């Protein structure tokens, strides 16, 4: 893969990401020098290896961010950029140390097909977990240096498209189907099906000392702009029973309406004949509780 990037001194150069069979690879930067022989000048390319660098076998996996270049290989997700407090020095660092067991379990024989894209301060990386193509997508948040593992979608390639109205859409090419699919926070479904999302918290201490037991009558939860049906389950350890599910309840979000006097009938007495349209609204903070005992 070839990308335009800077040298350690800040000069723009063609940056070549090379591969080796064991997956390490290397990075070379190519500059154009001018030589003069007699009265004739001609250009000669000069290649310089970035010392201690890693390369990649994935053409679509090389991603240019605001400052660095990110790229995958069999050993992890790496970044190429200037070394802090050192002038004229480039370095490659591994970014995937927090998810190293997950990354090392990927199918190394299909790493050449890994696809990546930089969008909204995040790097989207589609990787081969099962099968012969990219089957999952992981997300690296550059602002929070956080990994989200993993989405159950596989992509051959990511891209952006701006329509005639000036709106930009973030799209990906499906890994196995002939589909072009948009990714957006404003879409509330996946090809006609609702998103299935789950969250499990850690054990919450209810006393200063871990050995103490207390009685819990109700467990409260506050939901922010809930959509659809939410299953709320409370689990815990009892004095005479191991850790298990104690109580569960289904929470259904409801749209509320405010209507003026005279819009709705009240018995058989007419209180008004003014016409109007009720306004629908939803509560952004919806507290609920479940009785445990």
3-state secondary structure of 25: coil
pLDDT in tens, 182-205: 999 888 778 778 777 788 888 888
Cβ neighbours, 10 Å, residue 142: 18
Distance CA 159, CA 181 (A): 10
Distance CA 110, CA 100 (A): 18
Distance CA 127, CA 18 (A): 19
Query: Is a pLDDT exceeding 60 seen at residue 157?
Result: yes
Max Cα distance, the chain (Å)? 109
- The encoded tokens of residue 113 equal 């097909």
Q: What is the pTM of this model?
A: 0.71
pLDDT in tens, 44-100: 888 988 888 889 999 999 999 988 999 999 999 999 988 777 777 888 899 999 999
Question: How far apart, in Å, do the first and last CA atoms of the chain sit?
Answer: 62
What is the predicted pLDDT for the residue at 73? Answer: 92
What is the predicted pLDDT for the residue at 114? Answer: 96
pLDDT in tens, 233-263: 999 988 889 999 999 999 887 665 555 555 5
3-state secondary structure of 115: strand
What is the predicted pLDDT for the residue at 88? Answer: 74
Distance CA 251, CA 73 (A): 44
What is the predicted pLDDT for the residue at 283? Answer: 65
Distance CA 44, CA 103 (A): 40
DSSP line for 184-197 = -TT--SBTTB----
Distance CA 260, CA 135 (A): 53
What is the predicted pLDDT for the residue at 267? Answer: 60
Cβ neighbours, 10 Å, residue 93: 14
Query: What is the average per-residue pLDDT within 10-29?
Result: 86
- Tell me the domain boundaries of the chain: 2-182, 218-291
């Amino acid at each position: 893969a070839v990308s335009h990037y800077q040298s350690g001194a800040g000069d723009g150069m063609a940056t070549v990401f090379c591969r080796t069979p064991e997956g390490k690879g290397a990075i070379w930067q190519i500059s154009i020098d001018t030589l003069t022989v007699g009265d004739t000048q001609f250009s000669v390319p000069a290649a310089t290896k970035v010392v201690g660098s890693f390369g990649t076998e994935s053409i679509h996996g090389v991603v240019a961010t605001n400052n660095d270049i990110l790229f995958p290989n069999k050993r992890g997700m790496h970044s190429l950029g200037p070394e802090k407090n050192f002038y004229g020095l480039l370095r490659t660092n591994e970014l995937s140390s927090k998810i190293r067991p997950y990354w090392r379990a990927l199918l190394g024989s299909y790493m050449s097909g890994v696809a990546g894209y930089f969008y909204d301060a995040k790097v989207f990386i589609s990787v081969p977990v099962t099968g012969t193509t990219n089957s999952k997508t992981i997300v690296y948040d550059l602002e929070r240096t956080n990994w989200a593992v993993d989405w159950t979608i596989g992509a051959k390639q990511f891209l952006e498209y701006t329509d005639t109205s000036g709106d930009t859409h973030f799209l990906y090419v499906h890994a196995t189907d002939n589909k072009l699919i948009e990714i957006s926070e404003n879409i509330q479904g996946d090809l006609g099906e609702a998103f299935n999302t789950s969250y499990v918290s850690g054990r919450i201490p209810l006393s200063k000392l871990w050995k103490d037991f207390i009685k819990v009558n109700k467990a409260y939860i506050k939901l922010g702009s809930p959509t659809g049906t939410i299953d709320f389950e409370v689990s815990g350890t009892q004095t005479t029973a191991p850790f298990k599910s104690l109580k569960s309840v289904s929470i259904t979000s409801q749209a509320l309406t405010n209507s003026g006097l005279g819009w709705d009938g009240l018995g058989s007495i007419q209180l008004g004949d003014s016409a109007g349209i009720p306004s629908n609204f939803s509560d952004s903070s919806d507290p609920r509780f479940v009785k445990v005992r």
